[in-house]
Each structure stands twice: as C-alpha cells, then as structure tokens.
Amino acid sequence: MAASCDSLLPLVLLLCLSAQAVDRSNFKTCDQSAFCKRQRELKPGQSPYRALLDTLELSNSRLSLQLINDNNKVRLLLELYRLQGNMTRVKINELKPLKPRYEVPDVLLSDPITEALSVVAQDENSLVVSLGGKDQRLILSAQPFRLDIVEGSQVVMSLNSRGLLAFEHLRTRKDTKSESEQAPGQENVEQQTDEDGQIKEDDDKPGMWEETFKSHTDSKPNGPTSISLDFSLPGVEHVYGIPEHADTLKLKNTDGSDPYRLYNLDVFQYELHNPMALYGAVPVLISHSTDRTMGIFWLNAAETWVDISSNTAGKTMFGKILDFVQVSSEAPQTDVRWMSESGIIDVFIMLGPKPADVFTQYASLTGTQSFPPLSALAYHQCRWNYNDQEDVKTVDQGFDEHDIPYDFIWLDIEHADGKRYFTWDPSKFPQPKEMLQGLMDKRRKLVAIVDPHIKVDSGYKIHNEIRSKNFYVKNKDGGDYEGWCWPGNAGYPDFTNPEMRTWWASQFAYDQYEGSMENQYIWNDMNEPSVFNGPEVTMHKDALHGVWEHRDVHNLYGLYVQKATADGLIQRSEGVQRPFVLTRAFFAGSQRYGAVWTGDNAAEWGHLKISIPMCLSLGLVGISFCGADVGGFFKHPSAELLVRWYQAGAYQPFFRAHAHIDTPRREPWLFGPENTALIREAIRQRYALLPYWYQLFYNAHRTGQPVMRPLWVEYPDDFATFSIEDEYLIGKDLLVHPVTDEGATGVTAYLPGKGEVWYDVHTFQKHDGDQSLYIPVTMSSIPVFQRGGSIICRKDRVRRSSSCMENDPYTLYVALGSQGSAEGELYIDDFHTFSFEEAKQFVHRRLSFSANTLSSRNLAPDSQFSTASWIEKIVIFGGSQPSSATLKSADGTESALEFEFDSTLAVLTLRKPGVNAAADWTIVLR
C-alpha cells in the first residue's frame, strides 16, 4: 500500500511528479530534531554525574543508589537488576520528577525474574557487584559515574565510559515560573534541594519548549525531556540490529552522517542505504565478535537516535591486515550511543555469550514469534487492488489454470466502502461471504485490510462507537485528534487504552464484522500511524493518549494495533484458531502478534537485494516472520526481476507478491509461458519445503531462535561470515544465495564450516565448507545448499494450497556430514489451532542417521497427535551403496526396502518405507 500525502493530495502530487525517490525534506535530520541536535552537541568527555555511594540500597535482587549531576545538582535514581538468564537491567530515572515519566508498558512479557546480587567489594569511589556465576562482575565507579561489566579480567561492556549520560529533567517553564511559584501547594519547588543548594537550571536552548518543522509546530508543554547514554564494547567490530532501516546488515559507523533513527514513519518511496527511520522500530542492538555475542535492549518508545562509532571503521582492509600482523596497539572497539526524546533509561544488557543465548535472553523478555497457521507460510497473492468479486474469482481460477499453488488472496483498501474498514464496497463486493465460500471450497483464504485510521462520518458505525466511547486519541486541546488519511478526514483510536483494544478486538466477531468468515484474516497497514497532513506524515507529538503524550508512545502504536487485531481473531474463534495478522509498523515484542513486511519497496534490483539484510536484521531482534513485497510495490518489474524475486521470496519467511494500483497487472502467468513456468517452480519449491519452514517456526515460537539467520549466527567463530548479507541460512540447515543482479550468470557463494560439506539441492552436488565458490546460474533457480549432517523433511507432492497437502506423505532428505551422520526434526500438528499448546496435540520427532542406521524417535512423549501422513521416500546424499535396507517398525516387524543408488552423485533413494510419520521406526543399511 502506498502511503503518503503525495499520492493523495492532487496539489502535492503535481509538485512531486518528477520525484523518483523519497522526498527527504519531509523527514527530520538529527539537526532538525531539537533534542537530537542538543544531545549530539554533547561530546565525549568527563561525565558530570557522580554516584552517591552513601545512598546505596541493596535488597536481594535490586541495587539502587542516587546519581547527582554536579553541574545542575539534579539527582537521578539508578537501579540495577540481575535478571535470570545472564542479563543485567539498568534503569535510570529522575529521583523526584515533577511528574511521572513514561515507562513502556506491555512490551515485556512480565516482570523479568531477578536473581540475587551481592556487593563483593567497595571503596570510597567504587563498588563491585557480583553478577552471579561465571566470574562476572559489575564495577560501579562513583566519580565520574560509570559502569563496567567484566568477566575475569576482561571488560565486556562499559556504560557512560564516554560521559554521554545526559538526562534532561522535567522543569517548569521559565516565563511561567514566577506564576507557578505563587500558586499554592508548590512544595515540589524545594524537592530537589540539598546541602549543595538549589537546582541550577540549564539555559534554554532553541527547540526546548517549542519546535517547528515545516509547517508543524510541536507545543512541547513539558519542555526538554530527552535522555542519552553511551555503551562501549571493547573487542567488538560488528554490531547489528536496531531495525527498521533499508541498510546493510552490519551497522555502519555514523560519525560522518546522521545517527540511525528509530521513529515509525510512513516513508513514501524510501531510499536504500541510509539511516533514515522507516515503518517500524526495534531498539535492540546485537554485538558480535569471535569472543562473545551480546545485546542491548533500550526499552523506550519515543523518537530515538543511535550513534555507532567504531575505531576500526575507517581502516582499509590493508590497514586491518597490517594491524593483525603487527598486533595493533589499539584493540578494536565499538561505541554505541542511544538518545531518546522522552521517557526513562531502561536498558537490558544481554550478555550472551553465544548468539543463541542472546536470542533466548531477548525472547525471555519480550516473547517469541507467534506460531502462524501453516497456510500463512505458504504463498500470498496480493495487489492494490483486486477490483471486485469477479476479479478475485478470475485470479483464483488463473492459479488453477496455470497449476500454481497459492493459499491467500489479499484485498487492499479499495475493497471497503469508501475506506470504511470493516465494511465492503456494496457494488464491487456485494456478496463477500459468497466470495469467501468460493475460496474455502478451494481450501484457500483471504486477507482484508483494516487500517487504524477511522473515517470521520456520522453514518459509520465504527466511528460513532469510538467517538461515543471516547476512544479516539486527543489533540493537545483535548478534542478528538483528526488527520488526513485514505478516507479523508479520520480519527485515530487510542490503541494504548486497553478498553479500546478490547472493543476493537470485539469488532472482528463474525456477528460484528459483516461478511467476514473464518477463512478471512487481517492486514494492518498505516499504523505508524500515518497521517498525511501531520508532521513527518505522522501524528503530532503533543497529541494525547490519556495522560501521556504521543511523543512518549509513538513507536508503540503499531504494536498495539496488531495486538488488538490478533486478539480479535483469536476471540472470534473462541480461542481455538491461531490468528494471522500482517503489520507494517512494529516495535519490540511485535513478534508475538504476527508477521511484518518491509513496506512500500520498489521494483528495482537494489530493493530485491536489500530485502535480505532487512529481514535478517528483524530476525536478529525476534521478528522472524518477515518478507518484502515480491516484485516490488512501486513501478513495474522486468520479467527477469520478477522471476528472481519469486525465487528469492520463496526462501524468505513471509512470501507475498504485491503491487501498486498504478502498475500493470503482474499475476504469475502474465509474463509468457517460460516465465510462468519459472515462477511456478519457485512457488512449488516453497510448498515442498513447508514442513521445514513450519518446524522452524515452531522452534522460533518455542525458543526464540530466528528462522532466517545470518551465517555468523551458526558460524560465530568464522570472521569471514560477519559481514555477509547476500546469502543466509534458513534454520541452520539450508543456505540460500539469491540472485539479485540483472543478467547474472553466476554467483560467488561462501560455504562456511571447516570440515563440513554442503549439497546443492538442485543438482545434489557436494561441496566442501570453508570456501568461496563460483556457482553458475541459469534462470531456472537460485543456489540453495543443504548442510551435510542435516535431515530435512519435505512434501514433494505440491498441490493447490497447503491445506490440500495436509495428509500428504513426507520425503526425508538426509545429507550426510563428513562423519557420515545426520540429524533433523519433524513437527506435525493440525496446522491451524492452539491445540498444540493447549492440549499438547502434536508430533515432534528426532530423525537421526548414524552408523548406517536411520531412526525416528519421539521428542515429545507426553504429546499426542495422529496424522495420516507417512514416509514416502528417503533420499540420502553422500552415502555409499548398501547391499540391503531393512525397515524395523515399532511393532518389531521387519521388511526389506527397495532402493536405488546413483553412483555418480552418491545418492541413495529408499523406496516407500510407508511408515506413519508419527511412528517409531528404524532403517538399517548393510
């Protein structure tokens, strides 16, 4: 969906006719964002903050003490917690703020479980706190204040070591001060005095009490409230995360540019390779070195900027080699500085030490990826817009005529009656249930869009109810906030209000949402929120959500929209069915509610290329269910680009083709029979691998491990993998190298792992790990490799939709490692309900091959599920020809299996074991 005033207002439209890319002037630079400018003017140096060690309070799990800023005498309260799972939480707030400062709710799963802290040493300027086992300690230095986390004799992370802790305390406005001092009951005035005397207010700087950007003025009734803190990471050269940016996987040094910005914005035709904010924000940064992987989770929902500075960043490759040879005097280090406009400092330091540990730690705080219904992992066909019921029917038939599978067809904003969501255009979609039933008969599904801007129209039930319940966000003067969006003048429900969310969820009930059925799911777009005529195309920061300003909650809005919608889908089925909701805006924790996509990209090779690091970055911070619009949203792709995008998209978690309303139609069969065949094949590869995707999502849901992984996650000691972003792993067993260059006749793939082997899944050819390999490519496919040592289950009988394949048999692809063994998992359940969780109705099996024996063993003996699926075929790569293959069933019966052996490729195929997929069995090769 397109998304900006530029495409709506004809006047603006005329002005941008020639604009090919983002109009940067619509969005703030750090210099134009007053607090960022103020904060960035502060240079590293000695911190004015001093810890008052005599205020130390230590309970079993909480350490607190006061900090004082010697320049202005304002006191802060520092709290330290040791959290279960090797994490440390650092909270800093004003000791006695004039009024409460915002603390982000609803993102943490619950209050994190704390562990005991103890002070192991103390002198007049420092405090040493034990962080539990593993020789980890936290050293607190009083003057200047800083924190160092050390393990043994090694510092792993320092806080405020560059003195950039800055906390703008709440203050009364100077020009109104005399007035307020005369007011009765102003006991607060003296709250922050002490033996050192009165608080000395900083001089007012521009933008502290009012800020104007373009034609919008932010009234800032609370004045300056920003916060900042620096983190130093000795030994670290690679940091990742803090999505969403259309940029490289490895974060860049921001010394000479703007910091990375986190502020959910609807950016029209975004540009690649810059730190501008996009639709979503996850304030989590991951650091990695061969020694250790760590994470910093900065829990703040206000506008945030992140500066990254690395002492090796400027060096050329030659310089780095030289350092390596000469043992550089200067150890590598990366410094990270976070700046937010309001709220408090609440930071979770995840100490790893392995990548998997960081993912587990972060998942324990904000939860794991929701487990989608299987069909959501299949192929989605979208377009702005499928015009009417007839169009939907024709496209549906088109897939059958061309024998291409798909599970979901999508309806964009034109389906609703005048962009009144929850309704249907009476002339284009007069019989939505008939349409949905037609899809259901084909075991397919539909997604309709429901955006959070509500048309202000007294004839619209949804609007009337929200208004009468007083659920709208308020403007600074207390009236309902209104802005322009697709329907024209619109109100924005206050999704931060739990009552509002409950009401919103209730609107998805079948008797409320007329025309909806159980095979209809929902898409939340424009939930940054997008306000065409608002500052930076979003909501005014002085708008009000109850007592809080929009400034405080901005980045959280989109998460709440998706949460309320997902809750609605769960409730409409009385808690039985798993929901599927796609969102454009997101925040830390959004993984719990569904899928995200990378917004309004374009039909350009660069956009195809960037989809990989964009989704990898999201996966690192918990959001596994990510995809980019296949084909590119804006503009018209060439047939080659479209085919390459299908091939890449088939190997990304969320696989949906989408197109702008002004582009020519591009259903898979519109580019000639050859391209139709290529696209069909790409989609079929996706369907065949659905069991593997499903098992990985189950794993992500259980453990928080990402589905789509950068190579370094699985090869953390291999420096060569640290910057790779043109290939990646799905789980740990498939390595994918999409083709993202026009006219490419080959790619250079890096196969990691010393002593490991990889098998090309298309040719079955075997390659050694730990090498870069030139792979010639044709248009027929992109390079995909299965790791030697893995077993992947596929359903090779590809049908019209994933539901049709429910009971189909599995083929096991056993890729032997250099030791001649392999392992894998198989997960099966009903594919769409919560029974797997609530009634333990699933099959989870361990498949292992070693010493010429392949067996299936139950990983979840207390679970129960019966499946009709069976084992159809077993393909073993890298083995030798046996003389016999014997199947031993659970009941002890033995039978001989037929097999074929291809000696040139060393591929052994076992014919039709025929055992049920949920059963115990063993196959012995002799």
- The catalytic residue positions are 525, 600
Q: Which is nearer to another protein, 96 or 797 (CB)?
A: 797
Q: Which is nearer to another protein, 429 or 586 (CB)?
A: 429
Look at residue 151 and give its three-state secondary structure.
Answer: strand
Place of tokens 């594919």: 831
What are the φ and ψ backbone dihedral angles of 76, each rounded to 5 degrees? Answer: -115, 160
What's CA 443's distance to the chain center, in Å? Answer: 29
* CB of residue 357 to another protein, shortest distance in Å: 42
Counting runs of H as helices and runs of E as strands, what totals does the chain give?
A: 18, 53
Q: Which is nearer to another protein, 373 or 769 (CB)?
A: 373
One-letter amino acid for residue 272 of the chain? L
Other CB atoms within 10 A of residue 394 CB: 14
Do residues 644 and 740 lie in contact, with contact meaning Cβ atoms separated by under 8 Å? yes
Q: Which of 766, 810, 811, 773 is nearest to 787 (CA)?
A: 766
Q: Which is nearer to another protein, 102 or 764 (CB)?
A: 764
What tokens does 580 get? 């599927």
Q: Which of 257, 309, 342 is nearest to 24 (CA)?
A: 257
Q: Which is nearer to another protein, 170 or 804 (CB)?
A: 804
Q: Which is nearer to another protein, 155 or 688 (CB)?
A: 688
Q: Which is nearer to another protein, 799 or 840 (CB)?
A: 799
One-letter amino acid for residue 45 of the chain? G
- Classify residue 655 as left (phi > 0), alpha (psi -120 to 50) or beta: beta
**Contacts of residue 802, Cβ cutoff 8 Å, sequence gap at least 6:** 374, 375, 377, 378, 405, 407, 687, 690, 831
* CB of residue 424 to another protein, shortest distance in Å: 14
Q: Which is nearer to another protein, 670 or 720 (CB)?
A: 670
Cα–Cα distances (Å) from 800 to 592, 669, 767, in that order, read 29, 15, 34
Q: Which is nearer to another protein, 267 or 544 (CB)?
A: 267
Rounded to 10°, the helix 672-688/639-649 angle is 10
Give dist(CA 627, CA 653) in Å, integer: 6
Other CB atoms within 10 A of residue 436 CB: 22
Other CB atoms within 10 A of residue 100 CB: 12
* CB of residue 399 to another protein, shortest distance in Å: 12
* CB of residue 411 to another protein, shortest distance in Å: 16
Do residues 618 and 585 lie in contact, with contact meaning Cβ atoms separated by under 8 Å? no
* CB of residue 10 to another protein, shortest distance in Å: 9
Q: Which is nearer to another protein, 146 or 383 (CB)?
A: 383
**Contacts of residue 86, Cβ cutoff 8 Å, sequence gap at least 6:** 132, 134, 136, 350, 351, 352, 353, 357, 361
* CB of residue 801 to another protein, shortest distance in Å: 8
- Strand pairing class (871-877; 885-889): unpaired
* CB of residue 664 to another protein, shortest distance in Å: 5
Q: Which is nearer to another protein, 8 or 139 (CB)?
A: 8
DSSP secondary-structure letter at 719?
G
Give me Rg for the CA atoms of the chain: 29
Q: How many alpha carbons lie under 13 Å from residue 551 in its C-beta half-sphere?
A: 24
What tokens does 751 get? 């196969």
Cα–Cα distances (Å) from 726 to 530, 644, 777, in that order, read 32, 14, 15
Q: Which is nearer to another protein, 524 or 916 (CB)?
A: 916
DSSP 34-96: HHHHHHHHSPSS--SEEEEEEEEEE-SSEEEEEEEETTT--EEEEEEEEETTTEEEEEEEESS
Do residues 291 and 152 lie in contact, with contact meaning Cβ atoms separated by under 8 Å? no
Q: Which is nearer to another protein, 359 or 687 (CB)?
A: 687
Q: Which of 481, 493, 483, 480 is nearest to 451 (CA)?
A: 493
Give dist(CA 387, CA 184) in Å, integer: 64
* CB of residue 51 to another protein, shortest distance in Å: 59
Angle made by CA atoms 632, 634, 637, in degrees to the nearest 5: 55
What tokens does 334 get? 């990366």
* CB of residue 914 to another protein, shortest distance in Å: 5
Give dist(CA 791, CA 103) in Å, integer: 46
* CB of residue 456 to another protein, shortest distance in Å: 23
* CB of residue 14 to another protein, shortest distance in Å: 9
Report, in this order, helix, strand and coil percent for the chain, each rounded to 5.
20, 30, 50
What residues form DSSP beta bridges with 597? 627
Do residues 196 and 266 lie in contact, with contact meaning Cβ atoms separated by under 8 Å? no
* CB of residue 246 to another protein, shortest distance in Å: 21
Angle made by CA atoms 144, 150, 155, in degrees to the nearest 5: 75
Do residues 65 and 53 lie in contact, with contact meaning Cβ atoms separated by under 8 Å? yes
What residues form DSSP beta bridges with 298? 347
What tokens does 218 get? 């932010």
* CB of residue 854 to another protein, shortest distance in Å: 18
Binding site for another protein (CB under 8 A): 13, 17, 387, 390-391, 403, 427, 441-443, 661-665, 796-800, 803-808, 868, 870, 872-873, 911-912, 914-916
What residues form DSSP beta bridges with 480? 474
